[in-house]
Chain A
C-alpha cells in the first residue's frame, strides 16, 4: 500500500530523473554501443545563457521578498482582525476567504496594465507586490487563527506591565507564533515559487525569468523536437530546493494547515 502510494506520487518524478541522465539518442532508440547514461544534459542547462542558477536565484529572490513582505503585512492585519467585533470582523473574514479562493489568472490583464503604466514590468522586486497580495488572504486567515489560540490573559498581563502594542507584539505574542509564522511563510514561498500567469506576462527579459517560465521555455523552445533531456535536467534542478523544503518542513506545513484551515 505504501509502495503503491509512493509509486503514484514519485513515479513521474523518477522518470524525469531517468530522462535527465540519458543521452538524447537513447531517449529515441536503444543504443547499440556505449553507455546510455550521461551528465551532458546538466552541463547543457548549467552552461546556458543565462546559466540555470540564474533562474533559481531569480525565483529565490522573488520568493524571499514576497514571504517577508507578506508576513510583514499579514501579522498586523491578522492581529487587528482578531481584535475586531461585529460586522467588520465577519465582513473582512468573508472577503479574505473569497479572495483566497479567487482564481488568480483572472487578474492578470488588469495587473499587466498596472505594471505597464507604473513601469513595473521586467522588475523582479515589483513582481513580489502582486504575489504578496495573492498570498495575503490565506496568510491573514492562518495567522488570525494562530492569534486566536493564544490565551487572552497573556496579552492582558503584558498590558498591565505597561508594554505598548508594538512591544507586546514583538516580545510577547510573536515569539509564541513561531510555528505558525514558519508554516505560513513556507506556503507563501511555495505559491510564489510556482506562480505562472503573472510572471509570464510581466517578465520578458531572458535573464529575469522565474523558474517555471524558464523551464517551460526550455521545454517549449521547439514544437516538434522538445529537448526533453535538457528539460528533464532543468526540472530535476528546479525541484531539488522544493524537495529539501518539503522534507524539512513537512511537519510545519501539516500543522499549519491543521491549525488554520477550517477556522477561516
Chain B
C-alpha cells in the first residue's frame, strides 16, 4: 500500500503540469464560449448565453474551413503514408552509407516548419523564384503559384508532405526492424517474390505501425497552423485557411476571444469525433494485434 502511494506521488508533478496546460485551456474555452469577450466588451467577458455557438452553426467560413482542413489532412497523410512506406523500405535495405542517408532524409523533419515555409515561398516566388526561372528557361512564362487557389493548395500539401514524410518513414522503419529476418528468408526460400513477401509478410506485420502513424499524423494535420500561416496566410481568398488558423485570426486579429474560444473548442470536438471514430474502426480492423509488450 505504501509503495502504491509512492508511485502515485512520483506521477503527480508531471500530471499536475499536464492538467494545467491541457485540461485547464479546454475548461477555460468551455467557459469563454458562453461569453462575449471582444473589443466591444472592452475585452471583459460578459455572459451571452449560447450566442457564440449559434453563430458558429451558421458561420459559413467555419464550415468551409472545416472541409478544407479535412481535405488537406486526408491528402497529406495519404501521400505521406505511401511515400513514407517507400522510403522506409529503401532505408531498410543494407545500403552503403545507410546511416548518413537516414540522417539526411530526416533533416526536413527536424527543421522549423515556418522556416521552410518561407523557403517554399522563395522557391515559388513570381517571377524570381527558381521554379519560375526553370519554367521560363523551358520556354513558358512565369506563373503566380500563390495567387491561384488550386496551385497554392497543391504546394501547401507538398510542403507538408516534404516535411513530415521522413517522420512517417522513421515510424515505419521502426516497424520494419521488428520483423524477424528469418521469416523473410523462409518465404524467399519457398520461392516468394519480393512483392509477395511485401504483401503476405511485411504489410500485415506493419499494420499497427501504419495505424499509429495514421492517427498521429491525422491529428497533427487536422491542427495545421504555422505552415499555412507562413506559406499562404490562408489565401488566396481564404481557400487554404484551416480551422486552427481561423481560430488564431479570431483571437489575434479580430480580438474576439469569446468566439475564438468557441472555434477552438469546436475544432477540438470535431477532431475528437473524427479520431475517436477512426480509432474504433481501426480497432475492429486489426490494431488489437499491436505488440503491446508494456502491458
Contact = CB atoms under 8 A, between A and B. Distances in A.
Interface of A: 1-2, 5-6, 8-10, 12-13, 15-16, 19, 27-28, 73-74, 76-77, 79-84, 89-90, 92, 95-96, 99-111, 113-114, 129-130, 132-134, 136-137, 140, 144-145, 148-149, 165, 190, 193-194, 196-197, 201, 211-213, 215-216, 219-220, 226, 228, 231-232, 235, 238-239, 242-243, 245-247, 250-251, 253-254, 257-258, 261-264
A84 B9 CA distance: 12
B20 to A, nearest CB: 7
Interface string B166-203: 10001101110110000000000000000000000000
Q: Is the interface of B mostly helix, strand, loop or mixed?
A: helix
A109 to B, nearest CB: 5
Contacts of B85: none
B119 interface: yes
13 contacts: A80-B6, A80-B9, A89-B295, A90-B295, A103-B220, A109-B257, A129-B17, A132-B17, A133-B21, A201-B252, A235-B115, A258-B178, A262-B174
Contacts, number: 252
Q: Is the interface of A mostly helix, strand, loop or mixed?
A: helix
Given A103-B244, A109-B25, A258-B177, A211 B112 contact: yes
B132 to A, nearest CB: 12
A9 B107 contact: yes
B157 interface: no
B235 interface: no
Interface of B: 3-4, 6-11, 13-15, 17-18, 20-22, 24-25, 28-29, 87, 90, 95, 99-108, 110-116, 118-123, 125, 128, 130, 162, 166, 170-171, 173-175, 177-178, 208-209, 212, 215-216, 219-220, 222-226, 230, 244, 247-248, 251-252, 257, 260-261, 264, 267-268, 271, 275, 290-295
